[in-house]
Amino acid sequence: MATKLPKVPIVIVGMGWVGGIIAAELTKAGHSVVGLERGKSRNTQDYFHVHDELRYASRYELMQDLSKETVTFRNSDKQRALPMRSYGSFLLGDGLGGAGVHWNGQYYRFLPYDFEIRSKTIERYGAKKIPEGMAIRDWGITYDQLEPYYVKFEQMAGIGGEPTTQPNVGKMSKPFPVGPMKKTPAMKLFEDSAKKLGYHPYVIPSANLTELYKNPDGIERAACQYCGYCERFGCEYGAKSDPVVTVLPVAQKTGKLDLRTHSNVTEILHDGKRAMGVRYVNTPTGEEYIQPADIVILSSYLFSNVRLLLMSKLGKPYDPKTDSGAVGRNYAYQVNGASTNVMYEDREFNMAMGAGALGSSLDDFNGDNFDHADLKFLHGANIRFTQTGLRPIQSQPAPMGTAKWGAEFKKQTLHYANRVLTVAAQGSSMPYRHHYLDLDPEYKDALGQPLIRLTFDFEDQDRELVTYIAGKTKEIADGMGGTKTEIHDSIKQYNIVPYQSTHNTGGTIMGSDPKTSVVNNYLQMWDAENVFICGASAFSHNSGFNPTATVGALAYRAAEGIAKYIAKPGSLV
Amino acid sequence: MADSKKEPPHQPRDESRRKFLKYSGTAIGGVVVGGVIGGLIGANGKNGKTEETPPAQPDTGKPAQAAERDFNQALMFFNQDQFLAAEAAAERIYPKDDSGPGAKELGVAFFIDHQMASSYGLNGREYMSPPFYKSEATQGYQLSFKRRELIALGLDALNTYSNDKLQKAFPDLAPEDQDKVLGDFEKDAVNLKGVPASTFFSYFLNLTIEGVYADPLYGGNKNMGGWRMRNFPGNQMSYTNDIEKDEFVKMEPLSLSDHLEIG
Ligand SMILES: Cc1cc2nc3c(=O)[nH]c(=O)nc-3n(C[C@H](O)[C@H](O)[C@H](O)COP(=O)(O)OP(=O)(O)OC[C@H]3O[C@@H](n4cnc5c(N)ncnc54)[C@H](O)[C@@H]3O)c2cc1C
Ligand code: SF4
């Protein structure tokens, strides 16, 4: 029997960036919040021996334990979905801070175009430009509406970037609070080549602090040391902005956050119109608790957000056959795969040095910043050179066609270890009617509940995008003074085996139509006004950028909406 | 501590972490949400140790020399034949050459043995619940075999296959013949009671690379020999002063053991 706990005003499910931001904002405003996190607690002391590639990068020390729960996957509904038994295309967060602990900290606002993608596409190219089955939509919010919330995230996290932005991205009402990362010789090569071509390169805005910074909450943190162990690792300096060193201590200091780790939420309790609270399992003992609450906030990443709604039978499940219902629709990802390597026989670079967000990039071929009239795809990619710290297990650069093992392999990979620079693209991902999330009919988690099932593949749109954008990466790479360049310009099927990106989006998308979206532009659920569903699950498509700037901005907006809702219950729109 | 913020972070390359902590402690003083660094400095302070305590080993600025006996070089999982086959196969994947040691000298077979005895060998953090169906390549590994079972079976199969074809156990073959046998496994040309030869091969290949380049803590990459060949500096604490340099900076690598100084 589940133990019923006393009712609380607000319960948050999942304590990553999104849960942390909302907890901080609401507790600062004087509201009491219960934060439920299925994983363990964390602090920077845990990273004493974090510079261990095997443990953190190859064995996924900080990520979700797949033996307890995973996702199932198939390329189309003609296949049987099978579990992702090991990692993997994406790496799921777990424990206090979630994936925010082991992210890179590359920070990009989305383009104004992203939020009105459908109307702007039709306006410029006509409705026929959108291919059959592609489910792009306006988001129900504009860039200008979201802009102040980006500023909030930037001030809190101490984002470092150039003082002015390029003309082809959204305007900023306030500059970044600190300056950009240091520029390496390789970044200069990239920028110089891009500038010669007339493009607009800039140093990637960074959540790895570029200098000692005190944020508006009074949190003071040290600068990044360019240690080269960033993506997949926690930062022992607290220099990488993550929830554990920024928003969570602020929430805790108010005394209003009741943070419960090892608390795995399994159900949203509701009467069809309102949520009454949540059910959760205390994982060490297996005991079940019911936590009644006035407001339920889901911030458990898209897979759990969608899974909890479907398991709890809250909201209308998406049906791809009839294109009706909303929960689970518009799954999108990130289309990588366009890149060009530059090899240098005459010089070596300090590739072991780096930081998660260190690099330069440009948006001349992102969004609708270039003419798509004669192209067979929409949107585009951020083209970048990053220097995140090359570690030897994960990367052995060598020319194409080099043997995978043996004397030649050894010789070439040692020779090229510090002689290859990669110009790569982070491509946008458009939603399709047949890309979606639902519950797996067969596979179960450790508690016996259904796994979430992912049905997804790359489309012609993605293949065309990769080929075109790869040509641009080559153009830039060719001007970087190397001995030789090698282009990668094609992708085939989506394959869940190699790591690609943990930028999964969609499933509980925002919009202005309750029939096709799950939440309004405050991330308030249409079908249950006291439920807020937050995170990248609200994205209707994914841009050619990392998502967390927009995830964070939307979390600030949701927090504001929740406070409004507390003052005056009802629909916020 | 707090008044010296202006001092740039400074890390003499060859010095111990303890010294680095001292420097960076002054450099990043005033940290409110303390990282490990802040914590350690605090801990030192609490013990009243404002001066450095002498490190357990003489601080020569160089990583500790290999002890005369390496008690870590013993078997946790493989039998003798499996160990010898692993050692021979890993050496063909990553052979000794002019640039330096091969997998054998780097202790890679011990690394693999130890990994197979760990939770990784038992797929401890992977989803291993049934049912097991035949999969598409895009869906990844779907066998019920645990990693250590697959590796042991594959190593046994290397010997069986070599004996059948060339009348010798795998470690006794000439290097070219070993390469041919490995190539047959890689190409799935081997059919031994359903041993998934190419899956075994790719797992073994990954394990070998890991054994060459993982921190020496795990039994491979002996004396950081794998890192040295690549000029990989291991785990330094900071590159702030080097990151903008045009020239390639060679450093003596550091391993986790060099950082084992608990407040
Ligand atoms: C290796 C890597 C690199 C990345 N680099 C970048 C980057 O450079 N730039 C960028 O913008 N983004 C990056 N990202 C993405 C970024 O980390 C995420 O967008 C962000 O952390 C998402 O925050 P979130 O709070 O929505 O979700 P999460 O951080 O995933 O937090 C969700 C939390 O909910 C908990 N939870 C889930 N289900 C339950 C349940 N049933 N009950 C209780 N708790 C639950 C989880 O344990 C987790 O702690 C990266 C991600 C990874 C993995
Ligand atoms: S690169 Fe910088 S931010 Fe990243 S872990 Fe190292 S010190 Fe921290």
Query: How far away, in angstroms, is A503 Cα from ligand 1 center?
Result: 9
Query: Do the chains contact at A237 and B125, CB–CB below 8 Å?
Result: no
* Among candidate residues A476, A493, A480, the one with its CA nearest the CA of residue A424: A476
The tens digit of pLDDT for each residue in A248-267 reads 999 999 999 999 999 999 99
Residue A48's pLDDT is 86
B56 or A8, higher pLDDT = A8
B105: in domain: yes
Domain count, chain B: 1
Domain membership of residue B202 (yes or no) is yes
Is residue A473 classed as helix, strand or coil in its secondary structure?
helix
Which residues of A fall within a CB distance of 8 Å from B227? Answer: 392
The pLDDT-based confidence of B43 (bands split at 50, 70, 90) is very low
Omega within 30 of 0 (cis) for the link into A163: no
Locate A500 and state its tokens: 């690609």
The pLDDT of residue B13 is above 70:
no
- What is the token pair recorded at A360? 């330069």
Q: What is the mean pLDDT of chain A?
A: 98
Q: Does B121 reside within a domain?
A: yes
Kindly tell me if the per-residue pLDDT of B256 is higher than 50. yes
List the catalytic residue out of A270, A435, A503, A541. A503
* CATH class, A3-567 region: alpha beta
pLDDT tens-digit readout, A405-448: 999 999 999 999 999 999 999 999 999 999 999 999 999 999 99
* B226/A392 CB distance under 8 A: yes
Q: What pLDDT was estimated at residue A1?
A: 83
Pairing of strands A220-221, A202-203: unpaired
Active site residue A503: yes
pLDDT at B55 over 80: no
Q: Which ligand is nearest to the CA of A92?
A: 1
φ, ψ of residue A259 to 5 degrees: the values are -95, 120
How far does the centroid of ligand 1 lie from the alpha carbon of residue A32, in Å?
Answer: 24
Minimal CA–CA distance to A286: which of A447, A444, A445?
A447
Provide, rounded to the nearest whole percent, the portion of chain A with pLDDT above 70: 100
Ligand nearest to the CA of A44: 2
- Taking the Cβ of residue B205 and every Cβ of chain A, the question of whether any pair is shorter than 8 Å is answered with yes
**Is B24 inside a domain boundary?**
no
Cα separation of the two ends of chain A:
39
**Residue B149 maps to a domain:** yes
pLDDT for the residue B247: 97
Mean pLDDT of A487-495: 97
Phi, psi of A403 (to 5 degrees): -55, 150
Q: Whose CA is nearest to atom 37 of ligand 1?
A: A300
Residue environment code for A416-448, b if the CB has 16+ CB neighbours within 10 A, otherwise e: bbbbbbbbbbbbbbbbbebbbbbbbeebebeee
User: Which of the four pLDDT bands, split at 50, 70 and 90, describes residue B178?
Assistant: very high
For chain B, the average pLDDT equals: 81
Of A67, A245, A404, the CB nearest to B33: A245
Per-residue pLDDT, averaged over A197-208, amounts to 98
Sketch the domain layout of chain A as residue ranges.
3-567
Q: Is B148 contained in some domain?
A: yes
* A235 Cα–ligand 2 center, Å: 5
* Model confidence band, residue B259 (pLDDT cutoffs 50, 70, 90): confident
Q: Tell me whether residue B235 is in a domain.
A: no
Q: Which residue has the tokens 């064995």?
A: A59
How confident is residue A384, by pLDDT bands cut at 50, 70 and 90?
Answer: very high
State phi, psi for A198 to the nearest 5 degrees.
90, 10
- Distance between CA atoms of A25 and A521, rounded to whole angstroms? 18
- Which of B125, B186, B208 is best to mutate for the A interface (most A CBs within 10 A)? B125
Cα–Cα nearest to B111, from B217, B254, B223: B217
pLDDT score at A30: 98
pLDDT beyond 80 at B25: no
Residues 6+ apart with CB under 8 A from A97: A15, A16, A17, A20, A42, A242, A243, A244, A248
The pair of structure tokens assigned to A462 is: 């993605």
pLDDT digits (tens, 9 = 90+) for A445-479: 999 999 999 999 999 999 999 999 999 999 999 99
CB-CB neighbours of A162 under 10 Å: 15
Q: Per-residue DSSP letters for A229-255?
A: --TTS--TTS-B--GGGTHHHHHHHTT
Closest CA to A415 of A399, A401, A433: A399
Task: Calculate how close chain A gets to B105, using CA atoms only, in Å.
Answer: 15
Closest CA to A47 of B155, B215, B118, B259: B259
Burial class (CB in 10 A: 0-12, 13-18, 19+), B58: exposed
* Residue B198: domain span: 80-125+142-229
